[in-house]
Structure 1
Amino acid sequence: MTPATVRATGHGVGPLLREWRRRAGISQLELALRADSSSRHISYVETGKSRPSEEMVLRLAEHLDVPVRERNALLVAAGYAPRYPETPLDAPGLAVVRQSLERLLTGYEPYPAVVVDGGFRVLVANRGIAMLLDGVRPWLLQPPMNAMRIALHPEGLAPRILNFREWREHLLDRMRRQLALPRSGALRELYEEVAAYPLPPVPPGGEDRAGDGHGDGHAGSPLALPMVIEHAGRRLSFLSAIATFNTPVDVTVSELAVETFLPADPETADHLRRAAAG
């Protein structure tokens, strides 16, 4: 792409920025105020009448909360080189990051914790996760493991998740939110695959009590939707939390998500402690 003005023909950075602004639900004037610009300049950029500088592209992307991978796409559409590298997690340059994640997950034991990438591939998991995977068919545990397949496949955790229909909808909705990003088709293919898995039968005493917030104390939580799962004849209840890196400057690091599972009741916490002690 040359420095010449990019016409608004559906190509170039203008339409992309306009789409991100609309997704953010803000006006051209509000974006201009945030980015220390003018609404006229924002309008000219979006319609292709003006080619933004590299600094302006990055500034607008920051105020629109555009993910790092898509910031590279905006730069390329504007005729600039990508700014952010994409380093494999097993590369020497990210050794400290991986080691820190492993220490974090080990320190969280006996509670389950896992690190996934933008395609929900499992990169690091602790022994708490390994314990919950008892009974999952071996083919689902072959690298590269995928957290969505393991959770939703009938030969994975699905038959043991007692509030499966609620938890399934939560996971699919999480994927749908990411599908709004203009990434490769791999994530959409994964979504279509796991959404088509057949629903397992409701286990005895399962969905009705585990999903309505009543019953034996393992089911409902006033805080968030729990994952209620059967393990070794017991009902365990977890609340999940997801953490990401702040202000990442690498595509790989920006898409890492640390998901931790906090016991939602004293019985679950006690069972995990006793199981870890052998």
Structure 2
Amino acid sequence: MSSHPFPRVMPTATAGAQLRQLRRQAGLSQLDLALISGMSQRHLSCIETGRAQPSAGALHNLLMALETPLEQGNGVFLAAGYAPRYEATPLTSPAMAVVRGAIEHLLQANNPAPAIVLDSQWDVVGANASAAILFDLVGLPVSAMQGLNLLATLLQAGGLGDHLINAAEIRAVAWQRAAREALSNPALASLLESLPTPDCLALSDTELPPLLLTQVRSRQGTLSFLSTFTTFGMPQDITLMSLRIEHLIPADVHTWQVMTAAYQQSV
């Protein structure tokens, strides 16, 4: 069990104080942020010190310029006396039809390479046929993908992590990435606290390759993948901001051949 104390979302403070903290965390001066958001430095200074009340539109522009997580942005709106501005629309909602269509297109286009859709808690909320094929190739039941959490299957014994040749490296990278996200995500922080912390989180002393590959032990030998992520540009909904598609692209001829043959047999 991990005992790492993850900080929670920024404590309640005035909207100006929260904006100042967010600006400093982003490494921006007042002048930098003023130029990015189209606001005078004097007005921004007055907002940060509480001498001026920002309009809802100005607050939105500042939060977008700071690339603030939308849930955290809602807290700033509340502190400024406004109702929360950003919603978390269920992916199954009719309003999300165009989003579901785009996700399905990306998943299918990635075949015969595996691809999965992750939400803010690292739950797998979508996958293509090749992701199920990869599970079968490593000896995991395809049914295990239902309700699967990627962090849990990587970090806990008996999951996908046990089938990785370079499990220590992949587990360390996943844990560190999730730990950063957990700084503003209490639910993810709680999940991480329930999972085992990787034994070694230190950087390797050896020469590092240009890209860390995911190397999987399968019935067809070692399969190697490189990982890329697709996210939605300019999201203004909490659900959309949290979604990302992970594409596992075969990194060698053997992996391409195995995945292509297995996919062709499945269709």
TM-score scaled by length of structure 2: 0.84
**Residues 198 and 34 of structure 1: CA distance in aligned 2, closer, same or farther (over 3 Å):** closer
8 Å Cα contact 2:86-2:238 kept in structure 1? yes
- Measure, in 2, the Cα distance between the counterparts of 1:137 and 1:127: 14
Match of 1:251 in 2: 238
Identity %: 36
8 Å Cα contact 1:137-1:156 kept in structure 2? no
Larger radius of gyration between Structure 1 and Structure 2: 1
Letter in 2 for 1:33: L
Q: Secondary structure at the match of 2:215?
A: strand
Aligned length: 250
Q: Structure 2 matches for 1:1-278, cutoff 5 A?
A: 11-134=13-136, 135-136=139-140, 141-143=145-147, 145-181=148-184, 183=185, 185-196=186-197, 223-278=210-265
CA apart distance, 1:139 = 8.8
List gaps (5 residues or longer) in structure 2. 1-10
CA RMSD between the two structures? 2.6
CA apart distance, 1:99 = 3.0
CA apart distance, 1:94 = 1.2
**Residues 138 and 235 of structure 1: CA distance in aligned 2, closer, same or farther (over 3 Å):** closer
Q: Secondary structure at the match of 2:195?
A: helix
Letter in 1 for 2:176: D
CA apart distance, 1:190 = 1.4
Q: Deviations over 1:16-75 (max 9, x none)?
A: 111211111011122122223333332332232322111211111121111233222222
Q: Secondary structure at the match of 2:262?
A: helix
- Measure, in 1, the Cα distance between the counterparts of 2:105 and 2:56: 38
- Measure, in 2, the Cα distance between the counterparts of 1:18 and 1:195: 35
**Residues 152 and 30 of structure 1: CA distance in aligned 2, closer, same or farther (over 3 Å):** same
TM-score scaled by length of structure 1: 0.81
8 Å Cα contact 2:155-2:197 kept in structure 1? no
Higher relative contact order (CA 8 A, sep 6+): 2
8 Å Cα contact 2:156-2:196 kept in structure 1? no
8 Å Cα contact 2:171-2:198 kept in structure 1? no
List gaps (5 residues or longer) in structure 1. 1-8, 200-207, 214-219
Letter in 2 for 1:17: L
- Measure, in 2, the Cα distance between the counterparts of 1:14 and 1:118: 27
Q: Secondary structure at the match of 1:133?
A: helix
Q: Secondary structure at the match of 1:89?
A: coil
8 Å Cα contact 2:135-2:142 kept in structure 1? no
Q: Secondary structure at the match of 1:277?
A: helix
